[in-house]
Each structure stands twice: as structure tokens, then as C-alpha cells.
Structure 1
Amino acid sequence: MQRILYYDCFAGVSGDMNLGALIHLGVDPEYLKSELEKLNIEGFLLEIKEDKRRGISGIKADVVIENPENEKHRHLHHIETLVNDSGLPNRVKTTALNIFKHVAVAEAKVHNIPIQKVHFHEVGALDSIADIVGAAICLDYLKVDKVLSAPVQLGGGTVKCAHGIMPVPAPATAEILKNIPVRTGLVQYEATTPTGAAILAETVDEFTSSINFDIRKTGYGLGTIDTEIPNVLRVFLAEIDEDEDVIQSDATLLECNIDDLSPENYEFVMDLLFDAGASDVWIENIIMKKSRPASKLCVLCAQGDSAKMKAILFSNTSTIGLRETILKKNALPREEKTVTTSLGDVKVKQCFYKGKLVNTKPEFEDCKRLAIENNVSLQSVRELVLKSLEDGSK
């Protein structure tokens, strides 16, 4: 059984919303405060209170700076020293420093300066330090096996930052969220801050809209603004009864109905799809409107390869549209080996479940080649391969 933390960022994420959500989910607030004291810095306190946004109850967490006029900005090496000299567990230190580094790398890229020269005008402040270190403390407290997240809502409009007035997202946020799925325009304010983005970028194992788990508890972290869209970060504590012997991954299924393509073209298209990395390609017979017989061409591929597959389908078939489905793929662990027989070498794929061999399949093309070369049947080659395997295991 896997313990899962899932971020549902439909209204964005910030450092304080994250703390509120994780406290509402079950993190002991007194434990969080006592751990933050291990930073050995003064000048801030963590206020935690129950509140509501559009009728949804949750936790509002605020880091209050006692003397903001005395607050100073810090560089990365100052923060590294602060965290490393603290009494926090090493695993918490590592997570926190990696989150800070996400922001530092983003700011260095935006300003085109070395990472150690980044002046943390936002994340060097005490409130952001508490938000980031607090996030690492909370994640360690929850002891989850995996962190997942929905695509991240960025918001819209403009944001005032050290660079001036910029359109959402802020430059650092955009840099931090590279290669992470995002959404925009739900609200007209900055829904995701650089701190919130960095926490997700460092701690989330997988970004997916597909929820396939049993929800055990829900937490809500409240933002400051109260708008028609509930300004909350929703998080789930969930469990997955996942078989460790099965490899699960996200996949994309592309389907298109075709009734006007010559059958001789399908082999050519299928070869192109397989060469481009498709996991599987198949054709189903269907009946379309007006009782027209047709074919449904189906392509299973990794999510990152879907654009290539679409290009092949639109360029090499007569389809003018297709359906795209995101799904979970489960596969057994497998091993490939080469078996030497009296007729020649044959590649063999073996699949295992719970440590036991459950399937053995000789490579068809190798068997076909040896059958033709030796003027024997395919079945006789397969039997010879299986016997060689059995003799080799004795």
C-alpha cells in the first residue's frame, strides 16, 4: 500500500497556502513551530487560524515578521549556512535547500548572473524562508511514499515584483515551472508564487490529472484574496493498493475512424508509428454512420510522444480528426535474453509476476528467419527455443 500526497492546484499555490493545507491535512502545528525554531533566527512567528473561503473551511497560515523594517535580504550562501547550521534533520535540510536552489537557478537565468550572486529579494525574506523550510518539515512529518500534483493554475492579470509590473506568471515562476503542465486565466491575479512553484518543482514526483487512488483525508490551505473562485489549495492524503511487481506509467491513446483509406496504406503508417516510438498500434473494424464499414486506427504511446504520433496520422492517413485519452498503463517487469539453438540465435522476452516467470515469448522475426533459412515450421523453431531454455535452466 502506497501513501500518496496529491496537490490539487486548481486555484494555484503559494508558500503560506501550502503550509495551511498540510496542517489541515494533519501536520501538528506545534510540531511545525518547534521545528522552525531550530533555524535559530528571530523576528518572525507563525500564526495559524481556521477560516473560510467561499464557505470552504480550512487553515490560514501566516508568517508574521515582527520588525519588517529591520528585515534583510539574503544570498544563497547565507541561506545555506542558516539551514545547515540548524538542528533540523538532514533529510529536511536537503529538501529545503533544493527548493531554494530552484528559485536561485530561476533568478540567475532571468538576470543572467551566477547563481551565488542571486540577491533573494523575495525568497531571502524571513516569511519565504519559513514557508520553504516549513514545507520540508511538513512533508517529512507526513511520511508519504509519493507526491503527485495536478497541472498548476497560474492565474492572470499582472503582478508587481522587483522587475516592475509584469504579466502573470512572474519571470521566476515561469522559469521554475519549465516542463511542468500549467493552466492560466481562471482568476485575474497571481495564483502561483515563485515559492509555491519551487515547492512543487522539487517535491512532486509526477504531474497528472488522472486520479487513481483512495482518498483518506482532504486538507485546504487558504489564500489571502477572497474571490468568486475559492482561493484555496486542496490536498489529498490518499492510498494506492499498488502491486510492486507491476510497472505503472502514464500513457496516451490516440484513435481515429477512417473509411476512405486504401488498406495497403495501413502497413506503411503502422511502421512509421512504431519507428517513432509507439508502444502498440492496432486496427479495429467498426461501422460508422449510414452503415459504412470503416477502420479505427489506435495508437498507444508515451505522453511525450503524442505530438509525433499525431503528425504521422494527419500526414499519412485521410483522417481529419482524432481522439486523445490519457490513461494508466500497467506492465509486468520483463527481461530479454538471447538463446542459442542448433539453428541459430533467437531473442527471447520473459515476463515476471511476484518474482515468478509467467510468460516466455521468442522473438517472432528471429523465429521466422530461422524457419525460412532451415526450411522448417515456425512452431518447430519455437519449440526448439523453449527446449534450449529449459535445458539451460537445469
Structure 2
Amino acid sequence: AELERLGVRFDLAVSQVNKNGIAAISTRVSLPTGPDVDEDEEDHVHCDECGHDHGHNEGHVHDHPHEHEHTHEHAHEHDHPHEHADGDTEADEESLVHGHGMEVEEILSILDRLTEPTRSKAKEMFEALVEVEARVHGTTVDSVHLHEAGAMDAIVEIVGAVKGLELLGVDRVVCGLVNTGTGFAKMAHGTYPVPAPATAELLKGIPIYMDSFAETRKELVTPTGALILSHLVDEFAPISMTVELVGYGAGKRDTAIPNVLRGFVGTSASAQAPKRLVLLESNIDNMNPELYGNLMEVLYTSGAVDVFFTPVQMKKNRPGTRVSVLGELHSKDVLVETLMRESTTLGVRVSYPERYEADREIVEVKTALGPARVKMARYGGETVNMSPEYESCRQLSAQSGVPLKQVYMLVYEAAQALVPPQQEAD
């Protein structure tokens, strides 16, 4: 239903096929005016203005021989051993590059027809893909024109991935190390090593490896696949889950390694799995104190999860400040650049800590003074903390004249009524 909202004419054929003895679902995208989007063409977005053509593109379903473990922190988990087994077959450059081009704004207007939260996430992902293509080819986003077939396939993949996770009730996505494959990829400008330039850009901050087995001496991750990894995966780590559902999606080619995507849905094996983040730190002793507030703001704007300052003693007995920035793995480069540009530091230390997180939910409770919002924290299925929201309580205090500390107590008592009696007894 969500794909129908796009209002664009395309056909999506779904059928069951057999891959090396495994029954899997095959999906193919085609346009009314042309043939099916070939697996050699479909997973790369072709830039008409840039004049490049990847002749080895993966299909509408992703077929990597590496395992993507999509874990939902406390409810469901997925594991995607996407097994891309492509060859280096050249695509028809005339049909790819010189066909009808689509403007970026045209594509964004199509995505505007979707419902939230799919719309915002899909637009964010497509904009990121176009920005990477423009950067790789040394042009501007406004100058990028995308081939219709490749663009439509990318749209369907992006929307399908985002909406699919939403429909499955995914709380958390975890992926293992990503196998990019090895070898070379043929493009309009020549032959390039795997991963392709746009793919390499999108894989920044993602742990990868390259094996050299004959069956995987090919491109195993394409730009659209890398885009999905960089925007939908919460953590790259081994899987730990109790499996409830297993599904298979099929690629087009027949290969020695089953050309399928495997997805698991299940429950986390542990009460709460840790999340791997990046921690950036710099010790500074020569910066104007007035600049620290702005530094914190721009770091949060750049994607930081947490920013904090710690007083430290530095060389020559100088008092200094340790700037600590916690962020998602894919945000590392932009956060490092922000630190270097917005502070006086000469270097940034990088580490990768794990963080256990409680699941958080904002609920509204009713009190004698009016409704108020409370943040509920749950860990392992149990409510472990309740925190009245400051702004909500402050407004009640201002309206009623009741001291803020008493409002907090009233709101907290109302929130306690939401905790199951058995848990309170425990």
C-alpha cells in the first residue's frame, strides 16, 4: 500500500523460486515502457550528468554472503546473510545513461506522497545517496540527473526497506561485519576496484572485510545496499537472539552459494544487548570558555548522542577540559571534523565503547493539576525508572501556583499507577 502512494507507474512482480534447494521469494521491478530492471543494473543509481554506469549492479533483493543481524533490542531480531553473487557483466550503457533522466527534486516530490515515518526516513536516505554520487563525481547535487530505471529501483528498495522494518515492528537492527567482496567493477569511465566509489563513501564508519573466495570475488555491496546499512542498522555486532521467524529473498543469478537473502525475526537472547558507539575525546587548555557552549550545540547538531566536559590537569600544571563526544558509528567522520573545526584541539582520540540502554517511552499521566508527561525506562521488560518531564511539570507549577517539587511528587505518584502491581510487589 505504501508503494502505491508513490503514484508512479511501475510493476512489482513477486514469485517463489528455488535457489540451490532453498525456496525463496523473488521480486522484480519493471517500468511500463521498458524491460525488467536487470540485476546488473538495478542497485546502482546511475547519474546521467556524471556519465558513469556500473555494469554489475545487484538486484532489488540484496544477496550478500555476509550476515546482517537485524536485532530488535528487546522485541525482535533480524539476521540478513545477504548473499550477493554477481558477475562482472557489463550493462548496456546506452539504455542506462542515455534514457529519460529524473531530477532529484522530482524524486523527492514522489517520496513526499508517503506517510510518516516512512517519508522522512526515505527522503533522508535518498538525499544521502545523491550527495554521495555528486561528491564522487565532483559535481553538485543540483546537477545530478538519475536514470529512470535505476532511480525507480532505488526508490522501491529504500521505501521497501524502511516500511518493511516498520511493519515487522523492528525495535533494533544489528548487523555483522560486512563483506564487500573483491575484484573489479566495470563502469563507463573504466574498471574500478571493489567496493565501488559511491559504496566506499557510504560504508564509512561501518566495519568491513574482503574475502577472496572464487564465489565472492565480485561486488557484494552496492551503493543502495550500503545506504541501507548506514541508515537502518543500529549496531554492527554478533547476533544473540531466540529465532521466531525465518524468511528468504532471492537474487536473480544462480550461483554455487545460494543467492538468497535470509531474514530472522526474534527476541533478544539477553535482557538487553549492548550498543557499540564511537567515543571521541580531546584535552583542551587554550580555548575561550565562551566557546564551549557553542561547541556542544554544533556537536549535537552534527549527530552526537552525548557531549560532556570534564576538568583535567594537563602538562605544565595547566587546568584543562576534556571534551567527550559519544556518537553513532556512521557519525564518526563528521563529529571528528566538527571537533577539529569548532575547537582549538590538535587531535582527537577514538575508541569504541559498548553502552547498555534502557528502552524509553514518554507517557501522559493525569493528575489533580492536569495532564503531565513522564519518561518511563524499561530494562529486560521491567520498568526500572520513572522521570517526570521538567517542562511539563514546570507548566503545571506555573498554572497552579503549586511548588515545582510538589508537582514532581504528584506526577511521580500518578506514574506509579502505570506499573503492574506484581512488579511493585517485587
Q: TM-score, normalised by structure 1?
A: 0.51
Change (3 A) 1:134 1:153: same
- Structure 2: which amino acid aligns with 1:199? I
Map of 1:87-236 to 2, 5 A cutoff?
88-121=114-147, 125-185=151-211, 186=213, 187-208=216-237, 210-236=238-264
- Deviation of the 1:332 alpha carbon: 9.6
Residue of structure 2 equivalent to 1:47? 13
Residue of structure 1 equivalent to 2:25? 59
- Deviation of the 1:223 alpha carbon: 1.4
- Deviation of the 1:54 alpha carbon: 1.8
C-alpha distance in structure 2 between counterparts of 1:145 and 1:91, whole Å? 14
C-alpha distance in structure 2 between counterparts of 1:37 and 1:162, whole Å? 33
Q: What are the Cα deviations for residues 68-114 of structure 1, in whole angstroms up to 9, with x where unaligned?
A: 37962223222111111x2x212111121122122112112211222
Q: TM-score, normalised by structure 2?
A: 0.48
Contact 2:2 2:115 in 1 (8 A): no
Contact 1:168 1:189 in 2 (8 A): yes
Higher relative contact order (CA 8 A, sep 6+): 1
- Report the structure number with the largest CA radius of gyration: 1
Change (3 A) 1:241 1:355: farther
- Deviation of the 1:166 alpha carbon: 1.9
Q: What are the Cα deviations for residues 199-254 of structure 1, in whole angstroms up to 9, with x where unaligned?
A: 1211111111x2122111112221122221222222211212665xx783459xxx
SS of the residue aligned with 1:51? strand
Q: What are the Cα deviations for residues 336-378 of structure 1, in whole angstroms up to 9, with x where unaligned?
A: xxxxxxxxxxxxxxxx99349xxxxxxxxxxxxxxxxxxxxxx
- Deviation of the 1:118 alpha carbon: 2.5
SS of the residue aligned with 2:274? strand
Q: What are the Cα deviations for residues 30-82 of structure 1, in whole angstroms up to 9, with x where unaligned?
A: xxxx321111111x200111112222221111112231379622232221111
4+ long deviations beyond 4 Å: 121-124, 326-333
Map of 1:283-298 to 2, 5 A cutoff?
none
C-alpha distance in structure 2 between counterparts of 1:192 and 1:122, whole Å? 21
Contact 1:154 1:182 in 2 (8 A): yes
Change (3 A) 1:248 1:104: same
- Structure 2: which amino acid aligns with 1:151? L
Pair 1:35 & 2:2 matched:
yes
Residue of structure 2 equivalent to 1:3? none
Residue of structure 2 equivalent to 1:317? none
Unaligned runs of 5+ in 2: 35-94, 278-321, 323-328, 331-351, 360-378, 387-426
Change (3 A) 1:107 1:205: same
Pair 1:354 & 2:384 matched:
yes
- Structure 2: which amino acid aligns with 1:190? E
Change (3 A) 1:178 1:122: farther
- Higher share in helix: 1
Unaligned runs of 5+ in 1: 1-33, 252-276, 278-302, 305-325, 334-351, 357-394
Contact 2:99 2:147 in 1 (8 A): no
C-alpha distance in structure 1 between counterparts of 2:2 and 2:162, whole Å? 11
- Deviation of the 1:122 alpha carbon: 7.9
Change (3 A) 1:146 1:163: farther
Residue of structure 2 equivalent to 1:239? 267
Residue of structure 2 equivalent to 1:364? none
Contact 1:102 1:202 in 2 (8 A): no
Contact 1:65 1:127 in 2 (8 A): no
Q: What are the Cα deviations for residues 9-28 of structure 1, in whole angstroms up to 9, with x where unaligned?
A: xxxxxxxxxxxxxxxxxxxx
Contact 1:73 1:124 in 2 (8 A): no
